[in-house]
Amino acid sequence: MTERTFMAGFGGQGIISLGMLWVYCAMKEGLEVTFFPFYGAEKRGGIARASVVVSSAEIASPLVTSPDSSIVMNEDSLPICEGVARTGSVMLINSSLVKSRPSRKDLCVVEVPCVELAEEIGDAKIANMVMMGALSAATGAVMLDHLESVLKSFFPETKHKFIPLNVRAIEAGQMAVAQKVSA
- Could you report the per-residue pLDDT of 96-147, keeping only the tens digit for each? 999 999 999 999 999 999 999 999 999 999 999 999 999 999 999 999 988 9
Q: In sequence order, what are the residues at sequence separation of 6 or more whose Cβ sits closer than 8 angstroms to the Cβ of residue 105?
A: none
Pairing of strands 32-39, 47-55: antiparallel
Amino acid making up residue 7: M
Q: Give the whole-angstrom CA distance, residue 57 versus residue 140.
A: 16
**pLDDT of 41:** 63
Output the pTM of the full model.
Answer: 0.93
Give residues with Cβ within 8 angstroms of 173, minimum separation 6: 112, 114, 117, 129, 130, 131, 132, 133, 134, 135, 136, 137
How much is the pLDDT for 62?
86
The CATH number given to 2-182 is 3.40.920.10
